[in-house]
Structures are given as C-alpha cells and as structure tokens.
C-alpha cells in the first residue's frame, strides 16, 4: 500500500512546504520523501519492538539501543519530524469540526481507495466487531464490557472462510471465558442467600446457549489434524454471504475500519 501513488507521496505541495516545511522557529526542515518513508518505517518497527520511550531507541545503553533505528535517523531529526508532521490543513479544522477524523482524513481516503485493489473478493464472509486498545482521550473511544479489551476503538473485522484454526479456537475460548465470569457471578449471588428476584441476571445474550459448557473443562491440549479438518468442513457451512462496505465516510464514527485475516 505504501507506494508512490499513496497518500504519503500524494500530499499536496502546500502541505510539504507549509504544514511540515517549517517549525516554530521558521527554520526550513528540508524534508525529502525518502526521509519521510524512513520515518514511517521506524514507526512500524516501534510497533512490534516496544521500548518505554521512543527516545530509548537511540540510547547508548546496550539493553535499549536499537541499531537499525539509531543508524538510520538521529533522535533529534526524528523528534523534529514527529513534532511538525501532519497530513491535513490544521487552519481548516474549525470548518470541519463535525469530522472526527479530519486530521487523518487524507490517509483514510487513500486507504479506502487502495484496499479494494489488494482484496480478493469472495462470496462467503463473516463480519464481527473487535476492539483496538486505546487509553488516551478521544471522542470516538468506546467501552464494551463484553470484550477482552474493554476500552478503545471499535473495528469491524472481515473474516474469510479460510480463517485458520487458531483464530477460531481463540474466539471460542473468548466466548467461554466471558460466559464463565457471568456464571461465577450467578453462583455467588445464589450462595449469598439472595431471593429469586434478587439473583444476579447475566448480561450476555448468549449465556443460555452456553449453559451446557458449564461443567466442562476448558481444552488445553491441541487437536489432531483429522479433527481440525472435520471442524473446518463444519465451519464452512456456517458462514453467511455479506456485501461489506469498506469505505470510511465523513460520518464514520466509530472507526469502521476493515481488518482482513488472510
């Protein structure tokens, strides 16, 4: 997705010249496109190689220093780009106050145009919601008590029928985990001597459907390949055809991003 036709290189010239072309002291940054791609690459690396602070990547301490980052860009240069980089015109924020994603709208628009080119369309899909952890302050942050990650951005996930066994097992275990927590509350409520009208009422819509698992042990051992093949055949019959809208309109709140498990 990160190619010359993408939003990073396609940013209007005035944004390169004005938006990220000078800092608060009116010093020209002389930011080249190749350097901007390097900056993005470093941020991607920081996503899976986490340290307490982004400044630690250029630390001289052996237990913190990350050579690919320190060798590619200096800490001060990274700080300068980070402090001045944005992808939309901040002077027009008030005019677009109803668009919660205005500051990153060029990126979302570009990704919406890019995703269809890389997506292999099929008829059988399963769509479900997921939560992306976020602990800051945001008007589009949501709370969902039924999810393992309870606070953050809600995403819509598109799952193909070829979704691997690990994902299916993880989903089932998540449902059973939530069920067992609710079942424990019900049992504690009954043991407390509460009347029939005061017994805790489960909030899970699928609670009654999983009552048969109440006395079953959670599986810990792996399933044989033969069992996996049989389960896969059964799962394929449960998918429903959906036409999924992957676009992000200006009214898209919360983030209706589509995550494809390929």
C-beta of residue 200 within 8 angstroms of C-beta of residue 183: no
| Tokens (6 digits) for 26 | 């009116």
| Tokens (6 digits) for 136 | 């800051």
Length of the chain (residues): 262
Cα separation, 154 vs 259, in Å, equals 11
pLDDT confidence of residue 234 = 46
What would you measure as the largest C-alpha separation in the chain, in angstroms? 73
Cα separation, 28 vs 22, in Å, equals 4
96-110, 118-132, 205-219, 238-252, range with greatest mean pLDDT:
96-110
pLDDT mean across residues, the chain: 72
Q: Which residues sit opposite 241 in a β-bridge?
A: 124
The strand ranges marked E within 62-150 are 124-133, 142-143
Sketch the domain layout of the chain as residue ranges: 13-112, 119-161+241-261, 165-238
Please, what sign has the CA dihedral across residues 100, 104, 110, 116?
negative
pLDDT at 121 over 70: no
227 or 137, which is more confident? Answer: 137
What's the pLDDT tens digit per position in 160-175? 666 667 777 777 888 8
What's the pLDDT tens digit per position in 38-90? 998 999 999 889 999 999 999 999 899 999 999 999 999 999 888 888 788 77
């Amino acid at each position: 997705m990160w190619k010359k036709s993408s939003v990073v290189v396609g940013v209007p010239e005035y944004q390169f010249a004005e938006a990220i072309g000078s800092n608060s002291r009116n010093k020209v940054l002389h930011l080249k496109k190749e350097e901007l791609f390097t900056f993005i690459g470093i941020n991607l690396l920081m996503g899976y190689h986490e340290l307490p602070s982004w400044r630690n990547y250029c630390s001289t301490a052996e237990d913190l220093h990350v050579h690919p980052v320190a060798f590619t860009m200096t800490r001060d240069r990274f700080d300068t780009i980070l402090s001045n980089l944005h992808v939309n015109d901040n002077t027009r924020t008030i005019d677009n106050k109803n668009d919660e994603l205005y500051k990153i709208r060029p990126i979302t628009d570009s990704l919406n145009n890019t995703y269809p080119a890389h997506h292999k369309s099929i008829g059988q899909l399963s769509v479900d919601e997921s939560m992306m952890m976020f602990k800051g302050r945001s008007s589009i942050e949501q709370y969902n008590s039924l999810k393992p990650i309870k606070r953050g951005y809600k995403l819509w996930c598109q799952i193909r029928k070829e979704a691997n066994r690990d994902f299916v097992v993880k989903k089932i275990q998540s449902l059973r985990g939530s069920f067992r927590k609710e079942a424990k509350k019900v049992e504690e409520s009954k043991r407390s001597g509460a009347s029939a009208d005061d017994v805790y009422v489960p909030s899970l819509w699928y609670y009654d459907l999983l009552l048969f698992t109440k006395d079953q042990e959670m599986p810990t051992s792996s399933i044989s390949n033969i069992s996996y093949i049989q389960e896969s055949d059964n799962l394929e019959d449960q998918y429903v055809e959906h036409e999924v809208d992957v676009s992000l309109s200006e009214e898209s709140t919360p983030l209706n991003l589509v995550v494809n498990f390929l």
